């Protein structure tokens, strides 16, 4: 959990002497923040929001009142300055990796193609299970390829995703005190690296350990990987409003919601959502 700090002053004023400063902080719900359990207010006008959560997002306004004294005519005047801050909860996106590889096969009609695909899924899942990652949405298609200056080749096009939310991932997250995205993202990156290394080794094994090349074998340099981002429910990316953090999953604004792991918050037309981080409409 983060504890954002806001300061009720601008740079120019902070360089000067401020007489009898008084600070009034108003939170997103329009209430005076003095005495609220989740904030810490200092005598110098700093506001710290403790354990920041989605519902604390929104507009924070501070009015600074202070005095100016004209010693020549013994005149005191009260001055006011207002500062407005927009504060949003955000999370790092969750990473999943889309991977595609190709294999040569004797012919597309072979029953062995399906058996090979099932065995490959099992090997990959075993490879990354210790990281509480797993293979999802696996599929393959067989195509006949015309190679320049060669005849026709039958090839298996295999695609799958490497996902960090295998059964048991929540238990791993409960062992840490901070948000889990860093841990799950690091694990899924490790899983991706293991799988990439596995396929690169296939090339070496084919060249050095087989006298006769197997009927189905990996095509060198066919490994391709793309990162897919997703956001937790109640969060989404918004390049327009948050272009300074375009890759972040930011809490959904009032009037929008996200019920699942999509990357965008949806507009709710059936009811008026007044709070941040809505998960339903």
Q: Which of 113, 112, 116, 115 is nearest to 142 (CA)?
A: 113
Distance CA 42, CA 178 (A): 26
Report the pLDDT value the prediction gives residue 92, as an integer from 0 to 100. 86
Give the helix/strand (H/E) hosting 108: none
pLDDT tens across 241-250, in order?
787 788 889 9
Stronger pLDDT, 257 or 70, i.e. the higher one: 257
- Name the one residue in this structure whose structure tokens are 């972040």: 248
pLDDT tens across 118-161, in order?
999 999 999 999 999 999 999 999 999 888 887 888 999 999 99
- For the chain, which domains are there? 5-87 (2.60.40.10), 94-230 (3.30.70)
Average pLDDT on 186-191 reads: 94
pTM of the model: 0.75
Residue 211 has pLDDT above 80, yes or no: no
Quick one: pLDDT band at residue 178, thresholds 50, 70, 90?
low
pLDDT tens across 95-106, in order?
999 999 999 999
pLDDT tens across 19-48, in order?
999 999 999 888 899 988 888 998 888 999
Report the pLDDT value the prediction gives residue 210, as an integer from 0 to 100. 61
Angle, CA 127 vertex, CA 199 and CA 201 arms, to 5°:
25
Distance CA 269, CA 272 (A): 7
Q: 112-128 and 181-209 helices cross at what angle (nearest 10)?
A: 130
Distance CA 237, CA 84 (A): 23
80, 63 Cβ separation under 8 angstroms: yes
């Amino acid at each position: 959990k983060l504890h954002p700090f806001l300061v009720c002053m601008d740079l120019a004023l902070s360089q000067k002497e401020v007489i009898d400063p008084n600070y009034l902080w108003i939170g997103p719900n329009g209430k005076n923040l003095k005495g609220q359990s989740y904030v810490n207010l200092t005598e110098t006008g700093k506001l710290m929001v403790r354990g920041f959560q989605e519902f604390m997002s929104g507009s924070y306004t501070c009015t600074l009142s202070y005095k100016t004294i004209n010693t020549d005519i013994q005149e005191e005047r009260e001055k006011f300055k207002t500062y407005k801050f927009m504060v949003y909860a955000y999370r790092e996106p969750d990473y999943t990796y889309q991977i595609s590889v190709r294999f040569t096969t004797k012919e597309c009609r072979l029953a062995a193609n399906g058996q090979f695909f099932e065995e490959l899924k099992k090997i990959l899942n075993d490879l990354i299970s210790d990281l509480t990652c797993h293979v999802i949405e696996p599929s393959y298609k067989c195509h006949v390829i015309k190679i320049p200056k060669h005849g026709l080749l039958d090839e298996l096009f295999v695609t799958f995703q490497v996902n960090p939310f295998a059964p048991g991932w929540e238990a791993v997250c409960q062992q840490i005190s901070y948000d889990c995205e860093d841990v799950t993202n690091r694990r899924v990156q490790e899983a991706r690296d293991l799988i990439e290394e596995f396929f690169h080794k296939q090339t070496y094994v084919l060249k050095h350990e087989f006298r006769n090349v197997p009927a189905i074998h990996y095509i060198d340099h066919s490994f391709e990987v793309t990162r897919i981002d997703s956001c937790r429910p109640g969060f989404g990316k918004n390049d327009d409003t948050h272009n300074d953090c375009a890759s972040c999953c930011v809490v959904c604004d009032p009037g929008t919601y996200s019920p699942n792991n999509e990357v965008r918050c949806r507009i709710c037309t059936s009811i008026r959502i007044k709070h941040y981080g809505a998960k339903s409409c």
